[in-house]
Amino acid sequence: MVKREILNSDGSLMAVKVELAEGFTGDIDRHPEEQISYIEKGKVEFEVRGVKRILAKGDIQYIPSNVEHQVTVIEECIILDIFTPIRKDLIPI
């Protein structure tokens, strides 16, 4: 289960609240936007440039532009993703 809610997409910054179910593994992703992911709840494993990190509530992961990354959910989680510039592919038509 993936639930996304765009909290703000003004100027050159975008904030997206993402809820992920335990056991979810995302596709390998790569995009030109820089990203910071703040873990509001739960526990996840982020793999960025082949380096894996376990993150829990209060932790932050930086993802540079055009770098492959993937998330695996260890415990149901809520993540606040911040992108710059705005990820237009996430804005509903």
**Residue 5: CA atoms inside 13 Å, Cβ hemisphere, count?**
7
| pLDDT exceeds 90 at position 93 | no
| CATH (domain of 50) | 2.60.120.10
For range 29-41, the mean pLDDT? 97
pLDDT digit string (tens) for 47-75? 999 999 999 999 999 999 999 999 999 99
Specify if 52 maps to a domain.
yes
Indicate the DSSP class of residue 34: E
Structurally, the chain folds into a number of domains equal to: 1
pTM assigned to the model: 0.94
Name residue 23's amino acid.
G
Specify if 92 maps to a domain.
no
- C-alpha span between 27 and 85 (Å, rounded): 21
User: At 88, is the secondary structure helix, strand, or coil?
Assistant: helix
Range of the domain at 22: 2-87
The burial of 50, by beta-carbon neighbours within 10 Å (0-12 exposed, 13-18 middle, 19 or more buried), is given as exposed
| pLDDT exceeds 90 at position 1 | no
